[in-house]
Amino acid sequence: MRLTSWLGALLVLGALATRGAAAPPCAVPQSPRDVNPNAKPSPYNGTSTSSVVVSVSPTEDSLQFRPRNGGAVQTLVRCGQHYHVPVETVQGCAGEIEVITPPGKTPGPGQWIEVHTVYAPRVTKPCENPEGLGCCEGQPVLVRGFSAKVVHGVGNGPILTPAGRPLAEWSGSNTGPDAKPGDCKPVAAAWSFRLTCNAPGITEAQLDQSFPRGAQGARAVQGGPRVSKDLILVK
């Protein structure tokens, strides 16, 4: 597909973003969300000073998770990591939904991507596809996400979620392109998304090393009765 055709498809994706309110509700609240903290009216249902992520190991291979609706703190382990082009979770950064790299290519410098690191109580070993969700066993499932630009460079270290706040947190689902309009994603997931337009850049070498299967496509922003009423801005 030529880049011009891909951009045309993006226009369709943008139009689909308005369908969330009209599409029927799902058994599982859906993701991604509009989490722009400067939007008027605000998409948030409340604020908090506490995150569902209590602590994270230095390598980000495990974390301590505390459900927002109550319950004991529990240890979750990393069971998958992948990225999307264009970004799915809209936070209001300039140019974040533009596509400047043709599909099938490693995103080049200047391209915004969205990285998702997934955690669950257990991980299948050996894991045949660490870029999917098939190795994530049990509930709860937690997704830590952030968006960043691809940059020039030769660094090929692991891709880590930027520390700090603010965060957008909500009850949602897995994402990725729908098989047909109005699909409901089945995997319930808590989300903790790092809000920043200035995350450290990710190099092409990091993408090639961490994600040999390449970029995953984007799902339209969900809305209306398809989303939860617990979108919290964590300051």
Judge contact between 180 and 132, C-beta under 8 A. no
Tell me if residue 33 falls in helix, strand or coil. coil
> Which tens digit of pLDDT belongs to each residue from 119-136?
999 999 999 999 999 999
- In the chain, where the domains are located: 3-234
Residue recorded with tokens 């880049």: 3
> Which tens digit of pLDDT belongs to each residue from 143-177?
999 999 999 987 789 999 999 999 999 999 999 99
Judge contact between 147 and 113, C-beta under 8 A. yes
> Which tens digit of pLDDT belongs to each residue from 56-107?
999 999 999 999 988 899 999 999 999 999 999 999 999 999 999 887 889 9
Judge contact between 202 and 115, C-beta under 8 A. yes
Q: What span, in angstroms and rounded, lies between the C-alpha atoms of 93 and 197?
A: 6
What local confidence, expressed as pLDDT, does residue 155 receive? 77
What local confidence, expressed as pLDDT, does residue 24 receive? 86
Query: Which tokens belong to 198?
Result: 């200035």
Give the list of residues 6+ apart from residue 46 with CB closer than 8 angstroms, or none.
230, 232, 233
Q: What span, in angstroms and rounded, lies between the C-alpha atoms of 78 and 66?
A: 16
Residue recorded with tokens 């969300």: 33
**Confidence tier at 22 by pLDDT (50, 70, 90):** low
Single out the residue of 116, 115, 119 nearest to residue 62, CA to CA: 119
